[in-house]
Chain A
Amino acid sequence: MNELQHIPWGIVAPLIILQLILAVIALIDLVRAERTNGPKWMWVPIILFVSMLGPISYFVLGRRPF
């Protein structure tokens, strides 16, 4: 637990929050989308576990315009 206290959260927290917002928006869009390129469930782990590039690749490659 001691390790965690050394991390200056004031500096790192904004980056983590932005990352979370990006992932949440991608998930909201994924849930509301009727169809995606590739199976829908496949995008969930990609968005959640690949930081930054996961949500980006969903928006660029996974979305279908119609």
Chain B
Amino acid sequence: MKQWFVLFRKELLEAWRNYKWIWIPLVYVMLGIMQPISTYFLPEILEAAGGLPEGAIIQLPEPTGVEVMVKALGNYQTLGLLILVLAFMGTISAERVSGVAGMVLVKPVSFASYLTAKWASAVCLTLVATVLGVLGTWYYTEELIGPVSGSAILAGCLLFGLWLTLLVTLTIALSAMMRSSGAIAFVTLLVAAALSIVSSLSGTKLSWMPGRLTNYAGAAIAQGGMPDGAWGAVISTVIGMILLLYIAVSVFRKKELVA
């Protein structure tokens, strides 16, 4: 366990020296707060864009705080996810190509602790970025648009953070199994899209699917608490993550260390 913490601290330090601890949370805060700001200025933006005939009247529905928060989560679902996958796709595969993995693993370090230390550091970063981004967005939404309850934000943030954690886990697990960074990113994004599509096509069935987490996060913000059936998805996601890590460790153990 002591050794695991040494590896974990090394991963945190490396992510700090890579500036990942600065730029990923910064980008999440910016992606989030853009949503309430652009919603607030939408009438002015439309006016400035011009092209409207003289005397045209545009009736915009009054946006609510909940709508804006859900849209901000939508930004994290697209650009935010892409950034995380690109940032973590080389976690293990790049170290294997460069030979660093070999240098670490000739020492008495188990594959499991090598991989889980990297995973834990990536998950910490993901959750910190998500929480900071959501808090920033919440502040701006309260100031500019309208109130959203704190328990709604907490539940939404937890559910959405879990969804991002699952996809980061998948990225790192694939990174242990595959060599090409591009293929790792592609497969992860494909799986994310497939999970979302399956859960949206299946209607009320399969309510425990991990792909539902984003819907549940939106519903949690709208309702102000955990929506019905969300726990099923939470449990299946946690089981999925444990399985992914287990498979990654057992495949990684059998692979050649030096590419």
Contact = CB atoms under 8 A, between A and B. Distances in A.
Given A22-B27, A65-B94, A15 B19 contact: no
A63 B18 contact: yes
B26 A21 contact: yes
B118 to A, nearest CB: 14
B144 interface: yes
Contacts of A66: 98
Given A60-B83, A65-B94, A65-B98, A15 B23 contact: no
A61 B245 CA distance: 27
Nearest to B20: A59
B: contact size bracket: 20 to 34
Nearest to B36: A11
Interface string B10-27: 000000001110110011
Contact of B30 (A12, A19, A26): A19
A59 B86 CA distance: 10
A14 B26 CA distance: 11
Nearest to B23: A59
Given A22-B26, A52-B27, 13 more contacts: A11-B140, A11-B144, A15-B33, A18-B30, A25-B19, A25-B22, A26-B23, A52-B30, A59-B18, A59-B87, A60-B87, A65-B90, A65-B94
Interface of A: 11-12, 14-15, 18-19, 21-22, 25-26, 29, 52, 55-56, 59-60, 63, 65-66
17 contacts: A11-B37, A11-B143, A11-B144, A12-B37, A15-B30, A15-B33, A15-B34, A15-B37, A18-B26, A21-B22, A22-B26, A25-B19, A52-B27, A52-B30, A59-B87, A60-B83, A65-B94
